[in-house]
Amino acid sequence: MTQIKIGARWDISSQNPRFARARDAGLLDYVEVNYPVADNHGADTLGLPIFAHTSNNPIASAAGIPEPVARAVKAGADASDSPWIGEHLAWLSAEDSGALGYVFTPLLMEEFAEQAAHNARCLAAYYGRPLALELAPVYCPSGEFASELHFLNEVARRAGCDIILDVAHWQISNRNLRRPADYGLDALDAERIIEIHVAGMRKSAGAPYWHDAHGMPLNDDVLAMARRLTRCLPKLRAITFEHAHDAPEQEFYDNLRRLREVVS
Amino acid sequence: MNIGGAAPGAEAQSAALRRAQALLVRLYFSDALQRRYLADPERVFAQLGLSPRFRACFPDVGSEAFGAECRGRRILVAREIAARYARTFELLLEELPEAGPLRFNHIVASELFCSFIASEHFLGRSRSLPAAAGIGVGYEGVSKFFFWLDETFGLSLPGAPGELRIRAFAEFGRQLVAVSKFSSDAFYAGLARGAFFRMAVEDRCCIVITAELAVESGVQLGEREGLVDLDALVASVKATFPGGAPRARPAAALTR
């Protein structure tokens, strides 16, 4: 089995000092840059491989993907020779471009599956690199597919893409939809999952719903699931820790250490 | 030109998918649309020319779960704009908590915020400034909120509410100067030296936002050279909005 690398999500240059310290402590194997970024970002000065990722391309949008965003992502991926580009199987807005703060899970319909597969094929050709698709958290059931994970796998299959299993998003969805913690894993082609994301999650105050929370540390459930996945996914190559740029710095290092223990 | 999109021969289906996408996204943010939808969803789908199959595939908009997702999304938007318009919100909202989740909850629950996120300023992409990363307009809420405030309260018109104009323009100006330090978009290039705006629309007395992001009041027009005229910049940007420059209108009043 290929050695699994540990990385962290990078959004802004103020993260460079903590990334440098983590690198020096042997905690980081790569930097996952969330494109597009400012030209003078400095992530490329850290001396670590860069994996390209974006949450700014609406892979599932009926309007397709705005070229300016894709161009910026491609430039970053080409500059770092990223092995793949992480993308979101999502909408971003009600319009042909723009965004409204957080990605939207599309309607889980056959037509949107085909639309997303078409968009992904076109984008992969534009990039000249493979794509890996991930899902956003889900709160309500919708559509015709058994679940969003079945939808993801079908799109990945049609588009010839790999998959990023965002463990936090997956666990949030399973909790919100009252499903077992491992629900949906068997709906995914194990050989397509090349990367997993791990992050914090938070529960609503006064309501039984969970949300993505990059400002919080990893919980034991997410870590336990990550450990399980490292042992059952034959093509898993990378684990990315998503931690907010303004979250406590010591937490960044502590969670990377915990991840290394999980993988070892 | 977008990558992907409608496959050849599938334009009619693509148009229906776009309408369905727009409807669901707008339902997360517009309370009025939610009420209309929940009162008669079939009518909404029929008006949009969407088949009953779309109706069957939509999530339960009236469910607690959908409400939780709506709330989570709105809090994210509130966090983005509250950080940049702290003093503006203190003027607009009574009993605003000082910081933290209570502050965001208070903003999210306000009629002011709900009006903004249901507006075309927020939901559309045209009434905003280019993103710092050079990918075009419609990607951030900070400028969307400023242009919504400007239109809603007539901040660029004679007789604009004085303190609100000063706070909103100052905080917006600071954001523009800050972004200019790292943006790759040519729009922000001239702002790195700072900006100024008139304390009142027809005043010669100005407020300056320096390159160091300090705010200095009582500066006379002409005393500071090389700074961007924020009033002129706002006017020129608004002239590019759908419908062009807005017609003169009295400031709208929203209950606090």
Contact between B25 and A108 using a beta-carbon 8 Å cutoff:
no
Cβ-based contacts of B54 with chain A (< 8 Å): 107, 109
| pLDDT value, residue A1 | 52
Q: Determine, for residues B184 and A94 on separate chains, whether the beta-carbon distance falls below 8 Å.
A: no
Residues 139-168 of B with CB under 8 A from A: 139-141
Span between the terminal Cα atoms of chain A, in Å: 13
| Selection from B241, B227, B80 nearest residue B145 by Cα | B80
The answer to whether the beta carbons of residues B75 and B137 sit under 8 Å apart is: no
* Residue B29, φ and ψ in degrees, nearest 5: -120, -25
Per-residue DSSP letter, B216: E
Q: Give SS3 for B2.
A: strand
pTM tops 0.90: yes
Q: What is the mean pLDDT of residues B35-40?
A: 98
> Which pLDDT tens digit goes with each residue over B151-176?
999 999 999 999 999 999 999 999 99
Closest alpha carbon within chain B to A142: B59
Specify burial of residue B102 (Cβ count, 10 A radius: 0-12, 13-18, 19+).
exposed
Is residue A239 a contact partner of residue A263, using CB atoms and an 8 Å limit?
A: yes
Among candidates A64, A91, A101 on the partner chain, residue whose Cβ is nearest the Cβ of B3: A64
| Gap from A42 CA to chain B (nearest CA, Å) | 12
In the 3-class helix/strand/coil scheme, how is A146-198 assigned residue by residue? CCHHHHHHHHHHHHCCEEEEEHHHHHHHHHHCCCCCCCCHHHCCHHHEEEEEE
Whether B63 and A122 lie within 8 Å, measured CB to CB: no
pLDDT score, position A2: 66
Residues B41, B47: Cα–Cα separation, whole Å: 10
Of A18, A78, A13, nearest to A40 by C-alpha is: A13
- The pLDDT tens digits for A99-145 are 999 999 999 999 999 999 999 999 999 999 999 999 999 999 999 99
